[in-house]
Structure formats: C-alpha cells, structure tokens
Amino acid sequence: MIIEYRKPSEALAPFVDHLWEKQVEESGIIPYDIETIFPEDQTVLTYSFGKEYYRSHANTDHFKSINGVQLEGLHQAPNFYKHQPGIHIFGVKFRVGGLFAFLPSSISSTNNESTDAHTLLSNLPLLNQTMGFDQRCELMETYLLSHLIEKQAKKYLKLLLMLQDLEVDSTIIPSSYKTLSRLFQEVIGISPKEYVQIKRINQSLALFASTKDIKSQDLADQLGYYDSAHFINEFKKYTGKTPKSLKNSLFDMKESEFIDEFKQYISPEHLLHYTSIFRKNS
C-alpha cells in the first residue's frame, strides 16, 4: 500500500487540512476486511482512478460501490469501507467548515452523504492515473483557489475569529452566543454541542492509539466528562462500540499489529497526524 500526504499552500491552509493519496497494486494485500472511520469533523473530496471501493454509512448492511469523483460530508455515525487490490484514491481533506467556502449550496445537505461531486461543485479538474501525486495536488489547488466564494470565505473566517476570541475570553454574552451558534450551524453544518461531542470522540481514539490499555475513567477525566458512564454512552453512540469492547479487541496485539489495526478506525492519514502530535509532546 502506498500512502502520499501533502500540506496545502499557504493560501489554502485556512480551508484545507491536507491532500492525500492511497494506492494498492493489483497484486497487493488489503490488511483488513472492512475499514471503519468513526465520526469526524472534516469533509473530503475524492477521485477514484482504480477499481471501485464500497461504502456503507452507520452499519455494514448496505454497501454501495464508489468510483469517479465523490464529495463526502461530515458524518455523525461510523462509515465503513471495503477496498480491493487495484484501488487508487486521491483526496482533499477540508478543515472543519472549510468546504463551506467553496460550496454554493447548504453545507448541512452533505452531512452523512457521499455524493457525485459534479452535482455540487462546478468545473472540477480532470485528474487521471497517469499524473503524479504532486501534479494532481497542483491542479487541485489551482482549482480550489479559483473557485473560492468570497462571501462564503468571509463568513468562515469570521467564525474562526469568533471562536478564537471565545478561547481568550469565555465570558460571552447571550446575544453574541446566539450569533455564534447560528453562524456555526450555517458554516459547519451541525450545532456547537454536537461538534464538541464528535471532537471528544476523536480525542479518545487518539488516546487509544497512544496507549491501548487506558481505562475508561481516565479517558472520561482527560476529556472532561462528568463521569465514565456518560463517556461510555457517548462513545457507543458515535462508534457503535464501548471503550471496553474496542480495548478487548486490541489488547493482545503486538505493537506493530496494534498500529495496523488502528488504520481501519482512524485511517492512515489520521495516524500520521496523531503520531506527529505524540512525538511532539513526548
């Protein structure tokens, strides 16, 4: 399996987290039957050049084949994927709310959906398998910069500034909070409360990735839950698993096997991100 990863240009950095690519040769091996991506706060635009892959939302009962160009919105339940040798996927991962700056329609309509991107974004660049990863990245960045919707971008950046101000001074007056909440819902597509819940679940997965035998009570304490029962219920709501059931499935694995297993929960792209965080803090 070949994984490519690249940060965006400075001009796109407020809106795009990274560009990535995943490729498995025809004779390659997929290390898992089903890849599970738990709820996350980013959206992704993907080009599939190789064989089709399959996606099912919230459960493993209804897999649909995916090929071509897809836009996948923020998802509030697990997404499940089946890959096969011969896949070749190029993707753009937007920052939370970053897609809003390019999308002429409502961002909330993309939630939990994987949609033909041509129906949502106009004049998408023609990328193909013969291009190199860097060339695909450059063409995509040129496209995004030329299709930035100024009015949308201003709203998005306004929201970022309001959130930054809130971090500095949490004593926000009710009227300002209502303005912030409405803008947040418009730009992100979900309420601030649900965003915080999803963010905490992602943080708990990152903690699992750093130490698989961490206790639920310790996770609850670190993530600000008032008790472990509240954390366990919320964890199961968004992942379909309890922390204990996830831990038991990983407990007897060797370190390398543990990392390989986590690729199907938080994806290789996230592992790169989380690994860099842990190395920086160690």
**Residue range 225-251, pLDDT digits in tens:** 989 999 999 998 888 888 888 777 766
Which range, 29-43, 162-176, 219-233, has the best average confidence (pLDDT)? 219-233
CA distance linking residue 104 with residue 37, whole number of Å: 27
Considering the domain architecture, whether residues 43 and 120 belong to the same structural domain is answered as yes
Which residue segment(s) compose the domain that 196 sits in? Answer: 192-281
CA distance linking residue 269 with residue 191, whole number of Å: 26
Mean pLDDT of 245-258: 68
217's enclosing H/E stretch is: helix 216-223
Considering the domain architecture, whether residues 182 and 208 belong to the same structural domain is answered as no
What SS3 class is residue 145?
A: helix
Amino acid at 229: A
pLDDT exceeds cutoff 50 at 280: no
Considering the domain architecture, whether residues 6 and 121 belong to the same structural domain is answered as yes
What pLDDT sits at residue 215? Answer: 86
Beta pairing, strands 16-23 & 2-6: antiparallel
Considering the domain architecture, whether residues 137 and 157 belong to the same structural domain is answered as no
> Can you give the length of the chain in residues?
282
pLDDT in tens, 36-87: 888 888 899 999 999 999 999 999 999 999 999 999 999 999 899 999 999 9
Task: Write down which residue in 116, 148, 180 finishes a domain.
Answer: 148
Considering the domain architecture, whether residues 234 and 133 belong to the same structural domain is answered as no
Angle made by CA atoms 4, 8, 10, in degrees to the nearest 5: 155
pLDDT in tens, 99-125: 999 999 999 999 999 999 999 999 999
Which residue in 163, 154, 200 sits closest to 184, CA to CA? 163
Considering the domain architecture, whether residues 69 and 115 belong to the same structural domain is answered as yes
Higher-confidence residue of 96 and 214: namely 96
Considering the domain architecture, whether residues 165 and 244 belong to the same structural domain is answered as no
Name the band, by pLDDT with cuts 50, 70 and 90, for residue 170. Answer: low
Considering the domain architecture, whether residues 111 and 161 belong to the same structural domain is answered as no
Considering the domain architecture, whether residues 25 and 123 belong to the same structural domain is answered as yes
What is the tally of structural domains in the chain?
A: 3
Mean pLDDT of 249-264: 62
Which residue in 35, 138, 22 sits closest to 91, CA to CA? 22
